[in-house]
Structure 1
């Protein structure tokens, strides 16, 4: 086999194979069509939980969760995974805006702007992306009666943003404040400039803006740090004294990168990096179209940096993850899939068009990569999972409490020190741990059985009849068939049935119908699917060493491909020995 010297992994959060096929058939994804036709492709079955951290870590280590999954924000070390094999072989990897759960370990490796999942702003974020307005009543507060996602107190499933700030009227015009995270706010002045324009002043810089115009990137400094910011004037009515102004996220990623000088070169060459856009990609949200502007900027920045790092800085592997597509699924899929309780045939086209646009944006940048990559570079387009619509929220700690396994406080949260069984936030919400401080070793099997009883007898009366809440549940000693083992995993592993999602509500229900339209992936069994979408991932290789036109069949009844095998295939393309990897190279896709 001819080995490729370079691998460019464009990871896409939540890219759904069924929708890729739908849009390819429509003819609106010509570059992804070419990428697949001239390369090798297959679907991938995610591991439990069907989360980006779990599955992109498995992908890029080439190892199953039992070997490489420690927990969110906790990188594996010493397992001789793919990145460690590269370091031993003298090859360098660049992880750019990749999940923080996997950190490269080689002295020459590069880690830049890892996707932040911790509490509060990312260390590199100086100021959040914001909407400034003279009329904040355009965005009335919507009471939230339920929380979906893991941990269940979060709002992961809704991709909600709380980033709107007032523009104050003054005698000399208008004033806004950029809310820096770790220092005093920075003032922005706005003054009328003719009939339909505004002059924006930031420090010593001034720019004139009309409606729908973006400013250039402007320097923005505090005593602690310096970054760059740009603005878009969304609305201006001088008679009503109405202004809506978008302000980009402000970041300083170089100091926290593993190679600050290299990071500065990327920023100087390609512009400032943003990890978040200002407005959700939700057609029911005012100015949602701007999410496509900012997402395109981010994705083109990532593509440009990938080629710079591979071609000019002599890295052998580049990996990133782009998240717009997953966001459009969370906000729109429930309105598009006929099996969703929120589906409306009258509204389907409007929501589906938002998803389609996110796929077309991705396709545009795939085309740029195909046109510009060198002959020695294999492009890998891959997703970690898909999405399927939500139907019921499930409060796992309340369910365990009903079986006298978990103690709850007045807010319904688990009190770990008084609970025989609990879940850990960092492990993805589908592993139940037994409290060794309360349960003697001799009683562990009994408590495991009690947990299984709580899970396997959990049913709900649905309009179509009785439905099981949990699709599968196994004890730790039986979980190796699902890719789980080792000291980090829980005592019981489970996955929810299709349509069931982590969550809690104000009533304190153990299970309840969701009241807001949404779609999820993480909690539901990896094989979850409808006729419209699925939880499956997607994998396309294109380049030297890949068999053109190869299609590896994916059939749950005869054979499936897993995330770690995709990583092992990357290792083989890089000329590495794959013996320490759990995955096996997908040789049917290779020459």
Structure 2
């Protein structure tokens, strides 16, 4: 049945990890004025809460928001999917072809003729699942930033130029930056990290791998510790008086930057100001050039510097990257720099149609690169991570508001990853832990900066309420600051073995020296803990190495659920598991079916690792929480209205369908939030 549309234009401003508890805190302090204006002009709950589906993980919940279907229905039940029959591996899930539910954007484009843009909506958008010319899609193959999964031409470089060095050294994959406030390289000669060991997730995204094996046998292998490792090449260069330059000011010193695989060199000058204090770096392509490639002041950055680089195939490609000058000694004796990830600017692979990529370049500029730093170093978060996201937010807002200003689309679905990226890298440092020696006040300040950054981004869309746009601000989940660490049970991107081994349900093989390997002893393994919150039995007839008779499954379920409830953290004595259900019983949470485990469980508040393994209603330290947010304003939405209704993530698609006058998506399980609409249903 066709309905009269309540609005002609809708924009979903999605911010990954953006949550209401922190937003309310900063709103009350007057630090999010733009969000406050949306609230004043629109509708929401008093607490801003959107009841999240579960598990609280990116592709799962953006798919729920797009389809109105619970995860058990659409089948994207964690960051990775279950590799049926193989209990020790996972399948990459950010692929629209793995979703079993119809997204609303297909209905809008095909049946309503709405020009619809789906902008970096992770997990259920790419590749486009409709051939309607009204549907345009950009990326969605990974959550971080557009093109980050396919366009990497060169990894980051940490450069130290010093008068103490006698010769130029290039040390691949050896950069480390110490925790704390300093920006220094430590012991680079002795650090030889393997790129493949540092991030299974990065390998899956960049290689296009469909099956990933990631067995987590100890705390050092979990996501928090893996993401603390920063992959970059190290460059150590002598710093000496400039010689042989076409144009080098008096007092200038020179050093060398090495890019690519160590074969490409860029000469650089360190320049003094009028007072003789060294404060500026210039990078050139050649000493014979009259103009620098880039000029960077000390403590500052220059973004989207265009250069050429030879990629892994030896081809010369045009790329853009960011240059950060972290420190300059005033006497010119040492310089430290971070040169960011380089992106191949020719990659239009993930733009549908490809002409959209050229339009973005022509009107706005190249897709910026993301910040590739670890969260354990305060100086890098302060000087690199947050400013780089400032730049990316500006670019994305420029893109989306360009489309809105010029009426390019009737409906825009958009996703931004700044909050979630910070959450994975440093939210856990917002509580002091002796093992990290972290400054919780500093990190709580960084969280505030990410939220005010997000408010600035939201403010870019406020004028469009007066241009007839209905704007919905929402997210997939929040991010809680954990208090208890070391219980290895539940990781969105792997199979965790320690607790299941301790309980006697899993057994790992040992090598000739008696050391645990990353291979299961399948003859002695009855069950494995896979992904964020699933336990699978090693069933005869279903799994490759099955030993559990299906007739014994019910009894084994009862035993494992009982053991999970009785399991206690060895450090605190607290219970670790909050809820455990059989697959059939998890239907009440929208999580039953073949893409969910035989047992579905969630960890207690404060024991979650990052997210995914916890209930969506849980809170964390430093005023954090796992709930997503919901605010709507514009045509069709009551102004200045607060509802007491529980608004669920499955309600977004039905609400947008009603606002647009179209049918609900085929598998939708939610209901329009009729209390906030200007027309009664």
Secondary structure at 1:225's aligned position in 2?
A: strand
- Equivalence for 1:432: 536
Q: Does 1:20 align with 2:47?
A: no
Query: How far 1:299 sits from its partner (Å)?
Result: 1.1
Query: Retained in 2: the 8 A contact 1:96–1:318?
Result: yes
Partner of 2:669: 582
Q: Is the 8 A contact 1:8 1:306 kept in 2?
A: no
TM-score (norm 1): 0.83
Evaluate the alpha carbon distance shift between residue 151 and residue 548 of structure 1 in structure 2; reply closer, same or farther with a 3 A threshold: farther
Greater mean alpha carbon deviation, residues 530-539 or residues 324-333:
324-333
Distance 1:278 1:376 in 2: 38
Larger radius of gyration: 2
Unaligned runs of 5+ in 2: 82-92, 163-174, 178-183, 202-213, 244-253, 490-496, 511-515
Residue equivalent to 1:484: 591
Matched residues, number: 557
Aligned CA RMSD, in angstroms, stands at 3.6
Within 5 Å, which residues of 2 pair with 1:74-473?
74-75=95-96, 76-77=98-99, 79-89=101-111, 90-103=113-126, 104-107=128-131, 108=133, 109-114=135-140, 116=142, 122-134=149-161, 138-140=184-186, 152=216, 153-156=221-224, 159-160=227-228, 161-163=230-232, 165-169=234-238, 173-179=254-260, 186-195=264-273, 196=278, 197-202=280-285, 206-215=293-302, 217-221=304-308, 222=310, 223-237=315-329, 239-251=331-343, 252=345, 253-280=347-374, 284-286=378-380, 288-312=382-406, 314-330=408-424, 333-334=427-428, 349-372=441-464, 375-390=467-482, 391-396=484-489, 397-410=497-510, 411=516, 413=518, 415=520, 418=523, 419-425=525-531, 428-435=532-539, 436-437=542-543, 438=546, 439-460=548-569, 463=572, 466-473=573-580
The superposition leaves residues 185-240 of structure 1 with CA deviations (integer Å, 9 ceiling, x where unpaired) of 54322024455333311377633333244446443223253222342333333745
Contact 2:577 2:603 in 1 (8 A): yes
Question: SS state of the match for residue 561, structure 2?
Answer: helix
Q: Can you list the C-alpha shifts for 1:147-201, whole angstroms capped at 9, x where unaligned?
A: 9999743535774333352142277532222337xxx754322024455333311
Cα distance between partner residues in 1 of 2:428 and 2:224: 15
TM-score normalized by the length of structure 2? 0.73
State the match for 1:73 in structure 2. Answer: 94
Contact 1:12 1:325 (8 Å CA) reproduced: yes
Is structure 2 residue 61 aligned with structure 1 residue 61?
A: no
| Partner SS, residue 63 of structure 1 | coil
SS at match of 2:121: coil
Structure 1 unaligned residues grouped into runs of 5+ = 503-519, 555-559
Please state whether the residue corresponding to 1:533 is helix, strand or coil. strand
Alpha-carbon shift at residue 472 of structure 1 (Å):
0.5
Q: Distance in 2 between matches of 1:206 and 1:416?
A: 56
What secondary structure, in the 3-state scheme, does the structure 1 residue paired with 2:630 have? strand
CA contact under 8 A between 2:104 and 2:665: conserved in structure 1?
no
Aligned to 2:637: 546
The farther-off stretch of 524-533 and 22-31 is 524-533
- Separation in 2, partners of 1:493, 1:424: 10
Measured after TM superposition, the shift of residue 82 of structure 1 is 1.8
Q: CA deviation at 1:11?
A: 1.7
Checking the alignment, whether the CA contact within 8 Å between 1:83 and 1:105 is kept in structure 2 is no
Deviation at 1:417, TM superposition (A): 5.2
Change (3 A) 1:4 1:332: same
1:77 to partner: Cα distance: 4.4
Q: 1:382 to 1:157 in 2, by over 3 A?
A: farther
Give the Å deviation of 1:414: 5.6
Q: Does the 8 Å contact 1:6/1:376 carry over to 2?
A: yes
Q: 1:368, 1:471 → 2: CA distance? A: 41
Structure 1 residue 429: deviation in Å? 4.2
Cα deviation, 1:25-71, whole Å, max 9, x if unaligned, reads 11111110011111112312222221122212211221110111333
* Alignment partners' CA distance in 2, 1:4 and 1:499: 42
In the aligned structure 1, how far is the partner of 2:271 from the partner of 2:120?
39
Rounded to whole Å, the distance in 2 between the matches of 1:570 and 1:129 is 41
Indicate whether 1:9 and 2:12 are aligned: yes
After TM superposition, give the deviation of residue 280 of structure 1 in Å.
4.7
